[in-house]
Amino acid sequence: MATKIRLKRIGRRNRPFYRLVVMDERSRRDGAAIEQLGWFNPLERNDEKNFALNDERIIHWLKEGAQTTETAHNLLKRTGLTYRWHLIRQGLDEKAVEKEMKKWALERVEVEKRRTDKASNKAEEKQKVAEKESETAAADEVKKETPVKEETEAKVTEEVVEEKAEEEAPAEEEAPAEEEAPAEEASDESSETEEASTKEKDEPEAETDVEEETSEDEELESEVKEEEPVEEKAVETTEEEAKPEQETDEASEDNTENKSDK
């Protein structure tokens, strides 16, 4: 009868648990087992505690011609049973086999140390890479933020400069106004001085004009005075001429009255 050393699944759904058994190769996976040789728990993360094997009974069934499946063979390699079976098949006695197994155990320890060192180195490298990536990402963010900060600072400085310019512009406008005010005052003073000088210049001319006017008035008065006797004379002549006329009129009236009386 052909037999196989393989794993038999037990346990509930999503909680697998396996038994290492010897079974007829024609039976189904979860069929009746000839003998149980150990167990394996895949949910246990510790590789040293997730299995247990009966080394003597496994070697017995290997001598009987039992064949191991691939998963069972990998599980036997972890305990060194495959190497022990290899030494037994070579015809070595038990002492030589034990010596070789001790050497294998020491090499196994070194190999495990190397593996742990490699795993730790890989973890450290991953951490370093992650740190470098985080640093580069932070540097990129800083580089991205620095132009934004520079732009904001430039805008702020421009706004401050504009505000200062706006504040200085009214001051400059007031300053020219103040400068223009003294200039206007100076111009007013100069105009006043010019007017005063012109007035001073005009005053002699006005005095000369007044003197000329007074002289003209005196001449007119003298002429009027000269004309007044002439007019008086004319009035007297007119009065004298009027008297004979009146006398003639009176004489004519007396004659008329006389004639009427007659």
The whole-chain average pLDDT of the chain stands at 74
Tell me the residue range of the domain where 121 lies. Answer: 93-189
Per-residue pLDDT at 36 exceeds 50: yes
Per-residue pLDDT at 246 exceeds 90: no
For residue 197, give every residue at least 6 positions away whose Cβ sits within 8 Å of its Cβ, in sequence order, or none.
Answer: none
CATH number for position 39: 3.30.1320.10
Per-residue pLDDT at 172 exceeds 90: no
Q: Band the pLDDT of 154: cuts 50, 70, 90.
A: confident
Where a domain ends, among 91, 116, 147?
91
Does some domain include residue 201? no
For residue 104, give every residue at least 6 positions away whose Cβ sits within 8 Å of its Cβ, in sequence order, or none.
Answer: 80, 83
Q: Per-residue pLDDT averaged across 234-261, rounded? A: 54
Q: Band the pLDDT of 148: cuts 50, 70, 90.
A: low
What DSSP designation does 12 have?
Answer: S
Where a domain ends, among 44, 74, 91?
91
pLDDT-wise least confident of 81-95, 106-120, 142-156, 178-192: 178-192
User: What is the count of structural domains for the chain?
Assistant: 2
Is the pTM here over 0.75, yes or no?
no
Where a domain ends, among 91, 113, 148?
91
Cβ neighbour number for residue 49 with a 10 Å cutoff:
9
Q: Per-residue pLDDT averaged across 118-127, rounded? A: 90
Does some domain include residue 62? yes
Does some domain include residue 110? yes
Same domain, 69 and 109: no
Same domain, 75 and 112: no
Q: Band the pLDDT of 67: cuts 50, 70, 90.
A: very high
Does some domain include residue 262? no
Under 8 Å between Cβ of 10 and 17: yes
